[in-house]
Amino acid sequence: MTSSATEFRHIRYETPAERVARIVLNRPDARNAQNTGLLYELNDAFDLVAQDDGVSVAILAAEGPHFSSGHDLRERDSLDNLRAHRTVGTWCGFGCAGAEPVMAREKELYVGLCERWRSMPKPTIAQVHGKCISGGLMLVWPCDIVMASDDALFQDNTVDLGVGGVEWFAHASEVGPRRAKEMLFTAEWLTAQEAHALGMVNHVVPRDELEQATLDLARRIATKPLFALKLAKEAVNGVADAAGRSAAMAHAFALHQLAHSHNMQVHGLPIDPSGVTLR
């Protein structure tokens, strides 16, 4: 196993096999909660994959007992941290008043990054173990293939927080409309086996076999001509886009911003704190 010359603080970049890269979330003490620095480092790592003609497949994995606990709600200087990085989109107004800076930040960090990763012209595989909560889903869903350990659990608890769902709203397409509603309304866990049955997860394997099974799959994919892989990915993504995926995402994101604005007016916070205490 080798590491990239690029040094990261919150992730690791590895090349565990020929033509295969592995990006590892590396904030285990925070259960890989996503602060601004981690998200931009993750984007930089995906850029390394995209620009390296010697890499055909990328694995997204995580260190520690859980894949990701979601957004890092302890980060209090998120806008200042955002300004320290090169933005991936053309949104501005991060320092403005009212609802604008929240919308601008989430358009950049969540919608902007997720769309970039979904459209990266190389296959990506999410290697998920333990718990994957809310914002963690936004790291998994842009990937092309999802491998899960038999102890993996998925949850979106954002309705508890007074918001209709995570910013990159793929729930209905990932698990179907009715299960998506139940998932959101109850905030109950979705097991790896249930996610597999619904089509959100490709394969479920024992925890101690997850890393090797994911790497074996990546190796098989990496033997294919890279341009053909790129075209196949474009073709499948195009089916979802032609069916209205982009418009549905934009609609859900607008509702998400309405929830933040409402909560700021009523509670002085972008979330409703009462839902947390009720659970």
Whole-number average pLDDT of the chain: 93
131: buried, middle or exposed (CB in 10 Å: 19+, 13-18, 0-12)?
buried
Report the phi/psi class of residue 18: left, alpha or beta, with left for phi > 0 and alpha for psi in -120 to 50.
beta
pTM of the model: 0.94
Extents of the domains making up the chain: 2-278
Question: Torsion angle of alpha carbons 177, 132, 128, 166, nearest 10°?
Answer: 50
Q: Please name the CATH architecture into which domain 2-278 falls.
A: Alpha-Beta Complex (3.90)
Name the residue among 147, 99, 146, 148 with its Cα closest to residue 270.
99
What percent of the chain is predicted at pLDDT more than 90? 84
For the stretch 10-42, pLDDT in tens is 999 999 999 999 999 999 999 999 999 999 999
The stretch 203-224 carries a mean pLDDT of 98
Give CA torsion, residues 173, 69, 183, 127, to 10 deg.
Answer: 40
pLDDT of the residue at 87? 79
| For residue 278, pLDDT beyond 90 | no
Is residue 95 scored above 90 in pLDDT? Answer: no
pLDDT per residue over 66-89, tens digit each? 999 999 988 866 666 776 777 788
Q: How confident is the model at residue 4 (pLDDT cuts 50, 70, 90)?
A: very low
